[in-house]
Amino acid sequence: MVFEEVTLYTAQLKDIKPFYKDTLGMTIVDESERSFTIQAGQTRMVFRQNETNEEPFYHFAWMIPSNLFQEAKEWVASRVPLSRQDGQDQTYSMNWNAHSLYFEDPAGNILEFIAHHSAHNERQHAFSTADILKVCEVGIVCEDVLAKVNELQRIGIKRWGEISDTFAPMGDMNGLFIVVKKERAWFFSEQKAQVHALEVVVQDVGKLQM
């Protein structure tokens, strides 16, 4: 599954724009008074001003080359504090054969760099933002995880690994919806998942509004 475009909402547009542009050095490909768009490898990411009193935050992951995790970690750590859990600032999933690290932007969005070692997408140079390959995970928060799983399966999105009534990865290594139950604590964060508006364009599926 490939995320072609992801639209997230924020109450802190003016704060996060310099974070992505200057701190992380991402390329802004479109901007207006109410939004800006960055290119994250294959995926366009649109950050749009929220029009309610809520302060939305999300979880998403960027896939990086499988052999550049430590270089990417040093690169990120020189720019932003890394999130920690149980005293660790990175994690390895044996089931997914992947290393991950986490950090947050000024709006509280929970970002992840993930290197899937089964992806065979190695690159032979020093890490830079040009090595962010795509958005490969987008969090979906809901009241009923299993109902959302059934909904996604009806449009052709399959389970990826084990699921529970609080957590379900849907899709494949290249693109996953991380479906979690409202109020479940996000991994490597003290924030509890909340339901916020979300729009994605999935290759061969189309536009989905959550």
Find the radius of gyration of the CA atoms of the chain.
Answer: 16
pLDDT at 110: 98
Q: Where are the beta strands (DSSP E) in the chain?
A: 3-10, 28-31, 35-40, 43-49, 59-63, 91-93, 98-104, 110-116, 134-142, 167-172, 175-181, 199-202, 206-209
pLDDT at 170: 98
Amino acid at 114: I
**Residue 52: band (very low, low, confident or very high) from pLDDT cuts 50, 70, 90:** confident
Read off the pLDDT of residues 120-142 as tens digits, 9 standing for 90 and up: 899 999 999 999 999 999 999 99
Strand order across the beta sheet in which 110-116 lies: 91-93, 98-104, 110-116, 59-63, 134-142, 175-181, 167-172
Q: What is the mean pLDDT of residues 92-114?
A: 97
Q: List the one residue out of 52, 205, 69 whose CA is nearest residue 132.
A: 69
CB atoms within 10 A of CB 39: 15
Which residues constitute the domain of residue 118?
Answer: 3-209
Contact 66, 120 (CB under 8 A): yes
The two three-digit tokens of residue 66, written as one number: 């499988």
What are φ and ψ of residue 33, in 5° steps?
Answer: -65, -25
- pTM for this structure? 0.96
Read off the pLDDT of residues 195-209 as tens digits, 9 standing for 90 and up: 999 999 999 999 999
pLDDT at 205: 93
**Residue 53: band (very low, low, confident or very high) from pLDDT cuts 50, 70, 90:** confident
Q: ∠ CA 197-48-177 to the nearest 5 degrees?
A: 45
- Give, in order, the Cα–Cα distances in Å from 69 to each of 62, 74, 108, 112: 12, 9, 23, 12
What one-character DSSP code corresponds to residue 190? S
pLDDT at 26: 96
The pLDDT mean for the chain works out to 96
Count of domains observed in the chain: 1
The two three-digit tokens of residue 162, written as one number: 């084990």
Q: What is the mean pLDDT of residues 10-19?
A: 96
Read off the pLDDT of residues 143-187 as tens digits, 9 standing for 90 and up: 999 999 999 999 999 999 899 999 999 999 999 999 999 999 999
Read off the pLDDT of residues 81-97 as tens digits, 9 standing for 90 and up: 999 999 999 999 999 99
Read off the pLDDT of residues 65-78 as tens digits, 9 standing for 90 and up: 999 999 999 999 99
CATH number at residue 55: 3.10.180.10
What CA–CA distance (Å, rounded) separates 128 from 74? 11
pLDDT at 90: 98
Contact 167, 176 (CB under 8 A): no
- Give, in order, the Cα–Cα distances in Å from 30 to each of 22, 80, 100, 106, 186: 15, 24, 29, 20, 30
